Amino acid sequence: MTRAFSRPALICNSQSGSHDPTIREAIEEACRAAGKPIAATFELPHDEIPDAAALRAKDIDLLIVWTGDGTINAAATEAAGWDGAILPLPGGTLNLLSKALHGDRPAPEILADALGGRVRRRPVPIVRAESGTAFITIVAGPATRWAEVRETMRQDGIVEASRAAPDALETMLNAPGVRVAGQDTAYPAIILTPTETGLRADGILTEGSMDVLRHGLAWLGGDFRDGPSEEVARAETIILESEAPISLEYDGELAETPSPARFALGMSTIDFVATA
């Protein structure tokens, strides 16, 4: 049985477009109602993400991360070596890790279950690469340009996003694709997902105008995995190749790596709290 948590801390980002003071108050109230008020708040961008030493110094046993997937990734990395657990709550654009652990539920409801002991605590499978670690997915290939369009829409609105969309479409359809080593077919993007038994690689399909439209809508709508795709490999280690440097999206954060690039299954060094 999971030991009850008693000293929660909160990470949030007051400058994020997804930050809602009403939800923040509901999170704080849920902790007070459970008799476990928030013991420390780390408010980005003014405060730093706490490392293991900072969490131990405040005797924190539950780190509530109410931000996007990229910040959750950074918090888990900084907290390595701490013996508490991380509770991701939906507070960003995609919220993929929160959905994977809790389903598509509101933050206060998830928190009430966690503080009430209705949880499972465990490490989660991850994707390891030379350039970073992902807790949900790594998307590799030129179609990651759609992530820039999505961010433009979030920050500047649909008009500015519509101006960036043609370049993303051109890149997705015509830039050198990415393929699994040993295979001939290249894709505009390959999605790497960690599972308990290995990495799963899915190549996105753009065989007709409807596929292209569905991918654009999937990226802009939040979850790129909703577009048409096919499984192309499943293994503990997968190597991707391209005729150009490979664009990447790690849990919502953009990067680039030389080709070939090696990706391997791993397990997180810190526990996460799941309520679903």
Residue 261 burial (CB < 10 Å; 0-12/13-18/19+)? Answer: buried
Instruction: Please report the pLDDT score of residue 1 as a whole number.
Output: 46
Block means of pLDDT (10 residues each) for the chain, 276 residues, are: 83 83 94 95 95 97 93 94 96 84 93 91 94 88 74 60 64 84 94 93 76 60 66 97 93 89 96 94
Instruction: Please report the pLDDT score of residue 258 as a whole number.
Output: 96
Instruction: Please report the pLDDT score of residue 126 as a whole number.
Output: 96
Radius of gyration of the chain measured on its C-alpha atoms: 19
Q: Are 272 and 236 in contact (CB under 8 A)?
A: no
Instruction: Please report the pLDDT score of residue 143 as a whole number.
Output: 83
Look at the block and give the residue holding tokens 């350039």: 131
Give 4's DSSP letter.
P
| Alpha helix stretches (DSSP H) within 41-135 | 52-57, 69-78, 96-102, 107-115
Instruction: Please report the pLDDT score of residue 248 as a whole number.
Output: 92
| Alpha helix stretches (DSSP H) within the chain | 21-33, 52-57, 69-78, 96-102, 107-115, 145-156, 158-174, 209-221
How many other CB atoms are found less than 10 A from the CB of residue 2? 14
Instruction: Please report the pLDDT score of residue 205 as a whole number.
Output: 81
The number of C-alpha atoms within 13 Å of 48 and in the hemisphere containing its C-beta is 8
How many other CB atoms are found less than 10 A from the CB of residue 272? 23
Instruction: Please report the pLDDT score of residue 226 as a whole number.
Output: 63
Which residues are CB-neighbours of 114 under 8 A, at least 6 positions away? 5, 62, 87, 273, 275
Which residues are CB-neighbours of 128 under 8 A, at least 6 positions away? 263, 264, 265, 266
Please name which of 171, 149, 134, 165 lies closest in space to residue 248, comparing C-alpha atoms: 134
CA atoms of 79 and 56, how far apart (whole Å): 10
